[in-house]
Structure 1
Amino acid sequence: MAPVRASRGPWLVLGVVSTLAVTAIGYVHYDQQKQRTDMRRLIFEEKEREREEQARAGSQRAREGAPGAKDGPGRSL
């Protein structure tokens, strides 16, 4: 009697399923990293915008001579 040869079907299915699983996990990880990077960028841009607005408001106060403005006429020595 000839030796029984194992079929390749289950191994092929296992290979395809594991490849799809690894691909899905990699994509989820990539997507999470992308979202995290996007959030960091949004936070950075918002802080930058706030700094610019504060600088603009400070220079406006200095031009108007408001007390407490940097180098304005109302500045105490």
Structure 2
Amino acid sequence: MNALEELSDAEAFRRWLDGEIAARLTNDYFSVTLPNEFERNKASGPVWNGFLAAQVALGSHILLGTGTVA
């Protein structure tokens, strides 16, 4: 939070946010960490709920159907 107080404008915030995303959401995160979290957590865990929320937000279609995830 201290880093946010030092940002002077929207462009500085965008650069800071891009840096945080690049540092935390690496290829290893998507290929190793996230799949391991899916295997460890049960279907009601926070990782699974985040995945479902992303599917709803993106308007993904249901498997073998024409409707969207809701």
What TM-score, normalized by structure 2, do the two folds share? 0.31
Bigger relative contact order, structure 1 or 2, given CA contacts below 8 A and separation 6+?
2
What TM-score, normalized by structure 1, do the two folds share? 0.29
- The structure with the larger Rg is 1
